[in-house]
């Protein structure tokens, strides 16, 4: 797992994002346990509290469940529900981007061109 101290994204969010991506990509199967909080904290040289926050985010999203004394395991996936949750996040992010574009004085055309360019860059990186 790659964590950046300089990305501007909180470490707990980076951890949650990484696990979410891996779970949704099928790298973790239903019922599989995630690395223990203490073990991950030690591996990444971060606080146990930071790791716990990441796991709590995943639990709130319904991706994992906590089992006292055992840790967090991956839940069964309702693909349609998960896709809807991610669409909602995309919409929220795009609304934030639109608001920022308005502040920057960008036209709709400039905003659409920027989005198209970023999509192309993303496709090249895949």
**Domains of the chain: which residue ranges?**
11-74, 79-125
Q: With 80 as the cut, is the pLDDT of residue 82 above it?
A: no
- The dihedral through the CA atoms of 96, 102, 105, 109 has a sign that is positive
Work out the pLDDT band at 74, boundaries 50, 70, 90.
very high
Q: With 90 as the cut, is the pLDDT of residue 5 above it?
A: no
Q: What is the pLDDT of residues 103-124, one digit of tens each?
A: 999 999 999 999 999 999 888 7
Q: Write out the H or E segment, with its range, that includes residue 74.
A: strand 71-74
Say what the pLDDT of residue 89 is: 85
Q: Which CATH number fits domain 11-74: 1.10.10.10, 3.20.20.140, 3.40.50.700, 3.40.1160.10?
A: 1.10.10.10
Q: With 90 as the cut, is the pLDDT of residue 52 above it?
A: yes
Q: With 70 as the cut, is the pLDDT of residue 126 above it?
A: no
pTM above 0.85? no
């Amino acid at each position: 797992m790659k964590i950046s101290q300089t990305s501007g994204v909180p470490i707990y969010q980076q951890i949650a994002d990484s696990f979410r991506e891996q779970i949704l990509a099928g790298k973790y199967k239903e019922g599989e346990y995630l690395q223990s909080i203490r073990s991950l904290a030690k591996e990444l040289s971060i606080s146990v509290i930071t790791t716990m926050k990441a796991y709590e985010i995943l639990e709130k999203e319904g991706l994992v469940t906590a089992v006292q004394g055992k840790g967090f395991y991956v839940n069964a996936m309702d693909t349609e529900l998960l896709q809807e949750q991610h669409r909602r996040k995309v919409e929220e992010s795009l609304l934030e981007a639109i608001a920022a574009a308005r502040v920057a004085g960008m036209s709709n055309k400039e905003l659409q061109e920027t989005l198209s360019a970023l999509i192309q860059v993303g496709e090249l990186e895949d």
